[in-house]
Amino acid sequence: MTAKQLVTESFVPLKPSDTGAFALSQMEEFRVSHLPVVNGSEYIGLISETDILSINDPESPISSYKITWNLASLTDDQHIYEVVRMFAELKLTALPVLNDKNNFLGLITQPTLIEHFATLTAISSPGGVIVLELNEKDYDLVEIAQIVESNDNKILSVYVTSFPDSTKLEVTLKLNRIDIGPVLQTFFRYNYLVKASWSNEDAYNQGLQERFDGLMNYLNI
């Protein structure tokens, strides 16, 4: 999945002639605090809620604002993992997608990105979650998959989190079934350390949100 596939289709970018008040209303509608300003198809930069409030003249056109434009952007062929990394690294709530001529193609908002990421990682699908902790040298996805499948489960998604100054890994597995007891018992028999698990609808939703928050924090290191 690339940046071009993640754009919010209903979004119309701000124009230099739009007022700060209009920009704030658009930010509220799309649940963001940053929006792109575009002149025709040419990307000018991002304006933030803080920029507008600091001017304290919401009825004036954006073009009259004396601000330093944030030129952050994405190219249309960047992978969703790179998109997530940039959102976390730049601490932005929205990023424009441009082509190779710096022309505006669309906007990715943080809420939309999270929805797509949830689909990619099978968060919305019912099933249990298991988090394993192990040493880097012991990581063997083939063996892990065999353990899961030997108990009539399948892995819907997996991601690995590493940590600075550590040889430890966290391996988060999303399975296709809520009943993960037999899988857990097999991991125990193979001397795996199960750091956490969730095996009911409410718990796995809460757990996956915590894992996603952890991933975002990790990407921001």
Best CATH choice for the domain 122-219 from the list 3.40.1480.10, 1.10.10.10, 3.30.70.260, 3.30.420.40: 3.30.70.260
In whole angstroms, what is the distance from residue 196 CA to residue 133 CA?
9
List strands edge to edge, sheet with 129-135.
155-162, 168-175, 129-135, 193-198
Residue corresponding to tokens 């601490």: 91
CB 83 within 8 A of CB 95: yes
Tens of pLDDT, residues 10-44: 888 999 999 999 999 999 998 899 999 999 889 99
In whole angstroms, what is the distance from residue 19 CA to residue 172 CA?
46
Task: Locate the domains of the chain by residue range.
Answer: 3-118, 122-219
Tens of pLDDT, residues 36-74: 999 988 999 999 999 999 988 889 999 999 888 899 999
The model carries a pTM of: 0.62
Q: Are 3-118 and 122-219 the same fold in CATH?
A: no
Residue 191 burial by Cβ neighbours in a 10 Å radius (0-12, 13-18, 19+): exposed
Could you tell me the CATH superfamily of domain 3-118? Answer: CBS-domain (3.10.580.10)
